[in-house]
């Protein structure tokens, strides 16, 4: 059986590198508009559950509130422990009797000040139970959609997918369309992107291929989203545009609180509450 410990550390190092690059780019956008907003980083430690070792990992929550980014959170965490027995059966490769896990990943959500600039979500992660796998993706969430923004966002992720497998983009786009859907509203929460999970690593060679794809997903996001932000951040907006944004944010909050797997996983594994709920918008309305 493969010891995935060094591979978890390699994934963690990459996720931290990606965080630093993204945060630097977002801060650069703020500087371009005359804002001195910067990320504030708050480390946290996972509280060990009964029977676990004292050191079960933790992470760092990075949050910036600026002129362009009304609220953006970029979290990196690396945790280990035992899944609650009533939850373990819902996780790939785990059960009530075999509930040990490790998880490392990056999670990002940005809510923008200008309603013409789309909100966005991106995350990638590596987990182990009795199995080891990667998951992740990203999706664009514009209150006021623009076809060229949508096309460019999808093209960036398609390029990442095409380097992995010929049919990956079609499969992961369809998965995103299915996953990022709000059943009780009958609407998607945005214009989609990609979503993949349980990309299993059966040996070291497969891990390397899956890791390369996961890095390509992160690099695609870093390349495309800042371009879209810069394109839209100077557009004028009015009260009606803001009202549309705030109502849309309510839908976003509903999805994350009711359906999002990552929210549930964080809550069930002793994660930091503020980090888990950093995806919620700073302001929203419900009619």
Range of the domain at 50: 5-279
Give the chain's count of helices (H) and strands (E). 8, 9
Can you give the pLDDT at residue 192? 97
In a domain, 198, yes or no: yes
Can you give the pLDDT at residue 49? 66
Can you give the pLDDT at residue 51? 64
In a domain, 286, yes or no: no
In a domain, 287, yes or no: no
Can you give the pLDDT at residue 136? 97
In a domain, 224, yes or no: yes
Can you give the pLDDT at residue 8? 97
Q: Six-digit token pair at 211?
A: 């890791």
Can you give the pLDDT at residue 54? 67
Question: Among 262, 249, 241, which Cα is nearest to 110's?
Answer: 249
- For 46-79, the three-class secondary structure string (H helix, E strand, C coil) is CCCCCCCCCCCEEEEEEEECCCCEEEEEEEEEEE
With a cut of 70, list the residues of the chain below it in pLDDT.
Answer: 1, 49-54
Can you give the pLDDT at residue 276? 86
Q: Which long-range contacts (CB under 8 A, 24 or more apart) does 30-35 make?
A: 30/64, 30/66, 30/67, 30/68, 30/69, 32/230, 33/67, 33/68, 33/233, 34/67, 35/66, 35/67, 35/68
Residues known to be catalytic: 121
Can you give the pLDDT at residue 107? 97
In a domain, 98, yes or no: yes
Q: What total number of domains does the chain contain?
A: 1
In a domain, 285, yes or no: no
In a domain, 284, yes or no: no
In a domain, 126, yes or no: yes
SS3 content of the chain, % helix, strand, coil (to 5): 45, 25, 30
Could you tell me the CATH number of the domain that includes residue 195? 3.40.1500.10
Can you give the pLDDT at residue 1? 62
């Amino acid at each position: 059986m493969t010891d995935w410990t060094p591979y978890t550390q390699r994934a963690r190092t990459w996720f931290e590198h990606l965080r630093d690059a993204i945060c630097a780019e977002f801060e650069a956008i703020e500087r371009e508009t005359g804002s001195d907003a910067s990320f504030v980083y708050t480390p946290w430690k996972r509280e060990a559950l009964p029977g676990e070792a004292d050191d079960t990992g933790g992470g760092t929550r990075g949050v910036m509130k600026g002129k362009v980014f009304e609220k953006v959170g970029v979290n990196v965490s690396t945790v280990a422990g035992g899944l609650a027995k009533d939850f373990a059966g819902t996780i790939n490769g785990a059960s009530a009797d075999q509930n040990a896990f490790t998880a490392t990943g990056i999670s990002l959500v940005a809510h923008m000040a200008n309603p013409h600039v789309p909100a966005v979500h991106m995350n990638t992660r590596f987990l182990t139970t009795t199995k080891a796998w990667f998951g992740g993706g990203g999706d664009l969430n514009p209150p006021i959609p623009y076809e060229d923004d949508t096309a460019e966002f999808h093209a960036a992720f398609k390029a990442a997918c095409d380097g992995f497998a010929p049919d990956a983009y079609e499969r992961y786009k369809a998965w995103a369309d299915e996953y990022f859907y709000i059943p009780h509203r009958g609407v998607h929460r945005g214009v989609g992107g990609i979503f993949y999970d349980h990309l299993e690593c059966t040996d070291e060679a497969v891990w390397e291929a899956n890791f390369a794809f996961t890095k390509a997903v992160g690099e695609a996001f870093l390349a495309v989203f800042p371009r879209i932000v810069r394109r839209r951040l100077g557009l004028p907006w009015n009260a009606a545009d803001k009202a549309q944004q705030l109502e849309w944010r309510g839908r976003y909050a509903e999805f994350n609180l009711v359906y999002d797997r990552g929210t549930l996983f964080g809550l069930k594994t002793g994660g930091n509450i503020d980090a888990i709920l950093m995806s919620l918008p700073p302001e929203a309305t419900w009619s």
